[in-house]
């Protein structure tokens, strides 16, 4: 009986040794999917901006200040530079109307009913007598916030620096007219300036 038991034990060992190693027979094949995400920049207006105001009689001041807000979305890892600028239509074409005077940045508005000359816009920027800048009035940019920025006098625009993600940039234009830009020779009607935030430094 002891011999028989030993024989069974030996046989069992032989059978286990004869079973193939199934784990070693498993094969794995992998495929990698790759996509490319391009540089992304999106600029849209947000909230309810105040884009229209009336001038009070005689003073040239606005009854309410103006403001607008831009939302910028970007996936760029590095800080991106945008340009905040204002333009008006003169007899000479579409011209920059943002300028600095006495350390304060202003936006000039041009008459739509009687298009001003380029000289009138230039005189307004230089602080000339109001009789020399008919059809052009200017108001201060009281604040730009939501992102780091600086005004570049030589370009007549702000550089605005935005980082990865979503950034809201608010621009406020004050109601007090730049002295000597509003006068009796300014034609009645609508005055307009177009404010834009863009990637292009043009």
pLDDT tens-digit profile of 69-128?
999 999 999 999 999 999 999 999 999 999 999 999 999 999 999 999 999 999 999 988
Q: Is the backbone of residue 165 left (phi > 0), alpha (psi -120 to 50) or beta?
A: left
Beta bridge partners of 166: 73
Percent over 90 (pLDDT), the chain:
68
Q: What is the pLDDT of residue 25?
A: 76
3-state secondary structure string, the chain? Answer: CHHHHHHHHHHHHHHHHHCCCHHHHCCCCCCCCCCCCCCCEEEEECCCCECCCCECCCCCCECCCEEEEEEEEECCCCCEEEEEEEEEEECCEEEECEEEECCEEEEEEEECCCCCCHHHHHHHHHCCCHHHCCCEEEEEEEEEECCEEEEECCCCEEEEEECCEEEEEEEEECCCCCCCCCCCCCCCCCEECEEEEECCCC
The Cα–Cα gap between 200 and 87 comes to 14
Structure-block tokens of residue 131 = 């009789």
* 103: region left, alpha or beta (phi > 0 left; psi from -120 to 50 alpha): left
Q: Which of 25-39, 71-85, 153-167 has the lowest mean pLDDT?
A: 25-39
Q: What's the pLDDT at 16?
A: 47
Of how many residues is the chain composed?
Answer: 202
Contact status, residue 83 vs residue 170, Cβ threshold 8 Å: no
- pLDDT per residue over 128-151, tens digit each? 887 889 999 999 999 999 999 999
Domains of the chain (ranges, CATH numbers): 41-198 (2.60.40)
Tally of CA atoms within 13 A in the half-sphere of 164 that contains its CB: 5
């Amino acid at each position: 009986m002891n011999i028989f038991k030993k024989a069974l034990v030996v046989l069992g060992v032989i059978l286990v040794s004869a079973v193939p190693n199934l784990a070693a027979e498993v094969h794995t094949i992998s495929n990698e999917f790759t996509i490319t995400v391009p540089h992304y920049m999106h600029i849209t207006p947000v909230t309810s901006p105040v884009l229209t105001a009336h001038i009070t009689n005689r003073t040239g001041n606005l009854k309410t200040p103006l403001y607008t807000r831009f939302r910028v979305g970007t996936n760029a890892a590095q800080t991106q530079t945008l340009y905040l600028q204002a333009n008006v239509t003169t007899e000479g074409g579409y011209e920059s109307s943002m300028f600095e005077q006495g350390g304060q940045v202003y936006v000039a508005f041009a008459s739509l009913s009687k298009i001003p000359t380029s000289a009138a816009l230039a005189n307004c920027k230089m602080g000339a007598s109001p009789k020399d800048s008919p059809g052009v009035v200017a108001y201060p940019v009281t604040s730009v916030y939501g992102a780091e920025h600086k005004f570049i006098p030589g370009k007549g625009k702000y550089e605005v620096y935005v980082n990865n993600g979503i950034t809201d940039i608010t621009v406020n234009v004050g109601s007090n007219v730049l002295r000597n830009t509003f006068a009796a020779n300014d034609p009645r009607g609508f005055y307009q300036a177009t404010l834009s935030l863009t990637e292009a430094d043009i």
